[in-house]
């Protein structure tokens, strides 16, 4: 699984499940909300690599998860979807 392979060892199983649920929920919401769903595994891989780098730099784990997911999934979407993503991460 992509999360197991690319996630920091410091992220626990509950947090990994949360990341997977977040990804599936956001992907479905974006596909329903936009004509062209542009959320995919590339976004997830990028977020996991960003998260691992942040944790290696001693970021708190939950801050690394939030920042990486928001940056990699919400930055290119409209304000409505950004608000949804922000609420979904928390």
Which pLDDT belongs to residue 47? 95
Kindly state the tokens that stand for 20. Answer: 């997977």
Per-residue pLDDT of the chain (90 residues; tens, 9 = 90+): 788 888 888 999 999 999 999 999 999 988 888 877 678 899 999 999 999 999 999 999 999 999 999 999 988 888 888 898 889 887
CA-nearest of 47, 30, 5 to 84 is 30
Q: What's the pLDDT at 31?
A: 87
Question: How high is the pLDDT of residue 76?
Answer: 83
pTM: 0.86
In whole angstroms, what is the distance from residue 73 CA to residue 88 CA?
Answer: 11
């Amino acid at each position: 699984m992509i999360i197991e392979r690319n996630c920091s060892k410091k992220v626990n199983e509950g947090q990994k499940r949360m990341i997977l649920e977040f990804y599936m929920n956001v992907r479905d919401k974006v596909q329903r909300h936009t004509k062209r769903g542009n959320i995919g595994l590339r976004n997830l891989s990028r977020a996991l690599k960003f998260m691992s780098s942040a944790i290696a730099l001693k970021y708190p784990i939950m801050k690394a998860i939030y920042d990486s997911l928001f940056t990699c999934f919400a930055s290119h979407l409209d304000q409505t979807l950004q608000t949804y993503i922000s609420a979904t991460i928390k």
